[in-house]
Amino acid sequence: MCEYCENTKLLGNSKSLIEGVDAAIDGGKLRVSGWFDGIAGVQPLYIPVNYCPMCGRDLRGNDMPRLYISGPVTGKPDGNREAFEEARRELRHWHMVSIPHEYVDAETTHEEAMAILLHQLTDRTYSYRKGKCANLYDGVAILPGWEQSEGARLEKAVAEACGIPCKTVDEWLEEAR
């Protein structure tokens, strides 16, 4: 936590961001208060936010490690979604889990899908847990059959090149238990 999301310190170095308007993080929500349309004393406006804008901490209480699931999609019935969803159900008790189907749909070409997914996989963000800018994902969970999937092989190679550990779903589960 930082002084802003822990103590509801005003954003903007304790000065109003806009003349007569103050903003603070309050219970996982951005609280905006002050003068609205020239009326003083109006009830504060509360806007849900997922991350502290100052330190990046996950305000939803989800500071669990993040995993990306990789595996065969192309040529599989329904893009192998059932296998991805099953792995997500097993892993979600210990990890925040993303699957490729969240970012691309069935009409996306393989080339477009790989560009989107590799961008997602290699994205970086401020990690409150690590206290620095880090990979968005803490690891890649690999589904059975990944060796026969051109896309999954590429995702694994890129993840490893970026220092993101890759393990099978069962290895991640065993480690978490």
Residue 144 covered by a domain: yes
Residue 58 covered by a domain: no
Residue with tokens 């996989």: 121
Is the pLDDT score of 29 beyond 70?
no
Residue 118 covered by a domain: yes
36 and 100 together in one domain: no
120 and 170 together in one domain: yes
Q: How confident is the model over 106-151, as pLDDT tens digits?
A: 889 999 999 999 999 998 877 666 677 888 889 999 999 999 999 9
Host domain of residue 38:
3-48
Task: Please give the C-alpha separations between residue 21 and each of 6, 18, 39, 106, 148, in angstroms, as whole numbers.
Answer: 20, 5, 11, 45, 57
Q: Which residues pair with 168 in a beta bridge?
A: 142
Sequence letter at residue 69:
I
